[in-house]
Amino acid sequence: MRPEFGSLTEHVVEFGRRLRAAGVLCGPAEVADALRALQAVDVVDREAFRLALRSTLPHRREDLRVFDALFEPYWMGRATRQQPQDARDAPSQAQAEPLAGAPSVQRWAQGAEDGEQEVPGYSPLEILGRKDFSTFREDELDAIARLVVAIARRIATRWSRRRRRARRSHALDMRRTLRLHLRWGGAFPELAFQRRRVRKHRIVLLCDVSGSMDVYSRFLIQFVYALQGAVGRVESFVFSTSLTRVTRELRTPSLRGALDRLSRSVPNWSGGTKIGASLRQFLDRYGGLLDRRTVVLIVSDGWDTGEVDVLRRAMHEIRARAARVIWLNPLLGSPGYQPLTRGMQAALPYVDVFASAHNADSLRELEHALGKRLRAG
Amino acid sequence: MGDVEARPTLGDVEAILAALAHEGYIADREIATAIYLSIELHKPLLVEGAAGVGKTEIAKVMARALGTDLIRLQCYEGLDVHTALYEWNYQKQMLRIRLEEGSGRSPEEKEQTIFSEPFLLRRPLLQAITHPRAPVLLIDEVDRVDEEFEAFLLEVLSDWQITIPEIGTIRAQHVPYVVLTSNRTRELSDALRRRCLYLWIDYPTFEKELAIVLRKVPGVSRRLAEQIAAFLHAARALDLQKVPGVAETLDWSAALIRLHRDHLDREAVERTLGCLFKHHEDQRVAKGPWLDRALAVIAEAQRDGQALEASLDRLERLAKG
């Protein structure tokens, strides 16, 4: 049996490398596991062979699909127990430098490892930050999306550090307290026993996707999703003339792809706007999502073609039930803009924070509004 | 590690399939292979999939089949080290201090007493590490903890030892079998993923679900079981907030039996809707016009004596509208 493993090893190494090139999280450690797994199963049984590799090489659902797509084409015609000299098409340097790969793959691997994408190099950060989202060319959108995600990640890390400090200052150190007590005897010092847990905010995102709002909403959704982990759950809705819940659709690693699919499937994406009716629909159907920990983020230019009174009543109710209401209006970023539309006027009294979110810099400023301790405490 | 002999195994993949079946868990080779390799390679098994597809059940069945104990760490937002690992039993310590007042022992002696093992509260992770024989450690819904705790977990899963300042380092006698489950509410770190073998459990196929119903629901006829499996196959294609899992299938089947139904019709479905659809909006969708057509397709297929499998695609298209 042993000598046959030589060529098989090379094939498995090469297969692992192809998976990696296709974006699968798979390196030498996985290949080593796969080889150990192959010693534990009957490799003559093709199905056992496949399942052994499938259990060890990929680590996420998306990667399983890549695995399934590559498995047959790669292993067809490659006997799993062939002699070493038959391994003509296995690259001879396979074992010598198992980590080498195409430059693009290396870049990809490095990027995947430290999580934070590099900020695009061709345009200085400040300029990129100040430029209005709607003015980007299509080929720049990817770069700016990465920047938005990078900002969100930085905010998220900062928050989690801050929370750690806060937790320490509120937790009672029982070990030390008891020791002191032992040394000094006497009455137990008066102590508060509760340990305060800093609660994460939950975010309900209501995005206007009508007409000109489309591009801003896309960036905001990406921004808020990249904050996940630092904030609690995110529930997302898009609206124009009616409201659609999109939380499930967006819960995917490739957010951009999901957004593109959405814009095709959601009715009225980029149609007219009925803000009041959409918010009412949200309250009636999903009002249960609102509580004292929830921050409601509404992204809209406030152009409501429906009844103003419907909007006013809906805003009143949202304000009463949520912790905080933040309204983001990208037009606020354009010079000389006054929030004079009837809809905006009706909504403003119920808004805690009114901000612009029209470019990357203004998203950075949003940190303050999102991170502030909620009044429910 | 020297504990290899102490870990019982379940033989090969076929033996695991048999053991699982014996425990009432209908598995396929994919699941059995993952379990088998997790035991053989001594690696934790990360199980992902929608709610209600039997992720947690894997650990339970594994423990029963291996004849060992199951220790469960239920994760939630805000779970911290004290709840997961150990905590000192402060009440007991205080009582002891009171009892020893006037005993004349020095503070150092007293301190040594109250910070010793009898005053330790073992939480699941410490329990698993100090267990006399390798247990199955289920870390349930690991996606709910925050990144910091995830990093801590990763450390425990690699070293299998923990340090308690007052006592010293405790090393695992027997490395536990670990099963982690995730509902994917948050993406897990790559580091944790790479520590584990990976298993994705999908909603069951028609055949598998039929086998589960036949096995788990006493008194169900094959005819009704087929209708149930076909109905769920279609219902999962509906646009739902919460897609029914296998647990829901079994609840629903039991309810139908209770109501003495031997076949599905609109009235039976409407009366038992709550077993399958847990959102008001979903119930509205389920009661929609597709229902009559779907029921008709199922009835027609069975009347003609065809296998229901042939109609599954049609049912799915109906549900998608």
Transcribe A288-305 into DSSP letters. GG--TTEEEEEE------
Across the interface, whether the CB atoms of A51 and B30 are under 8 A apart is answered: yes
Q: Which of B90, B190, B281 sits opposite A178 (nearest CB)?
A: B90
Asked if A276 contacts A307 with a C-beta cutoff of 8 angstroms, the reply is yes
Across the interface, whether the CB atoms of A55 and B185 are under 8 A apart is answered: no
Comparing C-alpha atoms, which of B184, B285, B275 is closest to residue B239? B285
CB contacts under 8 A, A 165-184 vs B, are 174-175, 178-179, 181-183
Backbone φ, ψ for residue A80 (5° rounding): -85, -5
Detail the DSSP E strand segments found in A200-291. 202-208, 234-239, 243-245
Distance, in angstroms, between A301 CA and closest chain B CA?
A: 29
Q: What pLDDT, in 10s, does the model give residues B84-98?
A: 999 898 889 888 888
Tokens of A70: 């590559």
Question: Position B135: which residue type?
Answer: P
Across the interface, whether the CB atoms of A59 and B40 are under 8 A apart is answered: no
**Which residues on A lie below 8 Å from B184 (Cβ)?**
61, 251
Tokens of A317: 């109710």
Backbone φ, ψ for residue B116 (5° rounding): -125, 175
Detail the DSSP E strand segments found in chain A. 202-208, 234-239, 243-245, 294-299, 324-328, 353-355
- Among B14, B31, B33, B239, the strongest candidate for a mutation testing the A interface, having the largest count of A CBs within 10 A, is B33
**Nearest C-alpha in B relative to A235:** B185
Tokens of A7: 């060529």
Three-class DSSP category at B161? strand
**Could you give the CA distance from residue A144 to residue A125 in angstroms, rounded to a whole number?**
10
**Could you give the CA distance from residue A187 to residue B78 in angstroms, rounded to a whole number?**
33
Across the interface, whether the CB atoms of B148 and A174 are under 8 A apart is answered: no
Residue A201 scores a pLDDT above 90: no
Question: Position A149: which residue type?
Answer: V
**Which residues on A lie below 8 Å from B94 (Cβ)?**
178, 188
**Could you give the CA distance from residue A208 to residue A270 in angstroms, rounded to a whole number?**
9
**Nearest C-alpha in A relative to B198:** A59
Asked if B188 contacts B148 with a C-beta cutoff of 8 angstroms, the reply is no
Three-class DSSP category at A339? coil
Confidence of residue B273 (pLDDT cuts 50, 70, 90): very high
Mean pLDDT of B35-43: 91
**Torsion angle, CA of B258/B261/B267/B271, rounded to 10 degrees?**
10
**Nearest C-alpha in A relative to B192:** A59
The chain B residues in contact with chain A (CB within 8 A) are 12-13, 29-30, 33-34, 36-38, 40-41, 43, 46, 48, 77-78, 88, 90, 93-94, 97, 101, 107, 110-111, 114-115, 146-148, 166, 184-187, 190, 193-194, 196-200, 241, 281
**Could you give the CA distance from residue A371 to residue A358 in angstroms, rounded to a whole number?**
19
**Which residues on B lie below 8 Å from A27 (Cβ)?**
194
Distance, in angstroms, between B144 CA and closest chain A CA?
A: 9
CB contacts under 8 A, A 179-238 vs B, are 179, 181-183, 185, 188, 197, 199-200, 228-229, 232-233
Q: Which residues contact A369 (CB under 8 A, 6 or more apart)?
A: A324, A326, A352, A353, A355
- Among A45, A51, A57, A174, the strongest candidate for a mutation testing the B interface, having the largest count of B CBs within 10 A, is A51
- Among A44, A59, A203, A225, the strongest candidate for a mutation testing the B interface, having the largest count of B CBs within 10 A, is A59
Across the interface, whether the CB atoms of B33 and A175 are under 8 A apart is answered: no
Residue A125 scores a pLDDT above 90: no
CB contacts under 8 A, A 94-153 vs B, are 112-113
Across the interface, whether the CB atoms of A233 and B196 are under 8 A apart is answered: no
Residue A140 scores a pLDDT above 80: no
Q: Which residue has the higher pLDDT, A50 or A300?
A: A50
Q: What pLDDT, in 10s, does the model give residues A70-113?
A: 998 888 766 554 433 333 333 333 333 333 333 333 333 333 33
| A158 inside 8 A of chain B by CB | no
| A36 inside 8 A of chain B by CB | yes
Comparing C-alpha atoms, which of B154, B302, B276, B116 is closest to residue B221? B302
Instruction: Give residue A43's pLDDT.
Output: 80
Q: Which residue has the higher pLDDT, A116 or B319?
A: B319
CATH of A202-371, one of 3.40.50.410, 3.40.640.10, 1.10.3720.10, 3.30.565.10: 3.40.50.410
Distance, in angstroms, between B194 CA and closest chain A CA?
A: 7
**Which residues on A lie below 8 Å from B78 (Cβ)?**
197, 199
Provide the whole-model pTM: 0.60
State whether the Cα torsion A9-A11-A15-A18 is positive or negative. Answer: positive
Confidence of residue B32 (pLDDT cuts 50, 70, 90): very high
% chain A with pLDDT above 90: 10
Side-chain half-sphere exposure of A214, counting CA atoms within 13 A: 15
Q: Which of A36, A51, A199 sits opposite B29 (nearest CB)?
A: A51
Q: What pLDDT, in 10s, does the model give residues B101-152?
A: 878 888 888 888 888 889 999 999 999 999 999 999 999 999 888 878 888 8
Comparing C-alpha atoms, which of B213, B199, B183 is closest to residue B32? B199
Instruction: Give residue A362's pLDDT.
Output: 74
Residue A187 scores a pLDDT above 60: no
**Which residues on B lie below 8 Å from A179 (Cβ)?**
111
Q: How many CB atoms lie within 10 A of CB A76?
A: 7
Comparing C-alpha atoms, which of B57, B72, B34 is closest to residue B197? B34
CB contacts under 8 A, A 317-346 vs B, are none
Comparing C-alpha atoms, which of B130, B175, B135 is closest to residue B1? B175
Q: List the domains of chain B with CATH numbers.
A: 4-80+123-201 (3.40.50.300), 86-119 (no CATH), 206-320 (no CATH)
Distance, in angstroms, between A132 CA and closest chain B CA?
A: 30
Residue A122 scores a pLDDT above 50: no
**Which residues on B lie below 8 Å from A54 (Cβ)?**
30, 33
Q: Which of A40, A160, A248 sits opposite B37 (nearest CB)?
A: A40
Backbone φ, ψ for residue A319 (5° rounding): -60, -40
Instruction: Give residue A249's pLDDT.
Output: 76
Three-class DSSP category at B285? helix
Confidence of residue B212 (pLDDT cuts 50, 70, 90): very high
Question: Position A183: which residue type?
Answer: R
Across the interface, whether the CB atoms of A58 and B78 are under 8 A apart is answered: no
* Mean per-residue pLDDT of chain B: 88
**Which residues on B lie below 8 Å from A251 (Cβ)?**
184-185
Q: Which of A30, A185, A200 sits opposite B77 (nearest CB)?
A: A200
Comparing C-alpha atoms, which of B208, B213, B246 is closest to residue B32? B208
Across the interface, whether the CB atoms of B30 and A160 are under 8 A apart is answered: no
Across the interface, whether the CB atoms of B190 and A112 are under 8 A apart is answered: yes
**Could you give the CA distance from residue B26 to residue B54 in angstroms, rounded to a whole number?**
10
DSSP state of A190: P
**Could you give the CA distance from residue B81 to residue A167 in angstroms, rounded to a whole number?**
13
**Could you give the CA distance from residue A368 to residue B193 in angstroms, rounded to a whole number?**
33
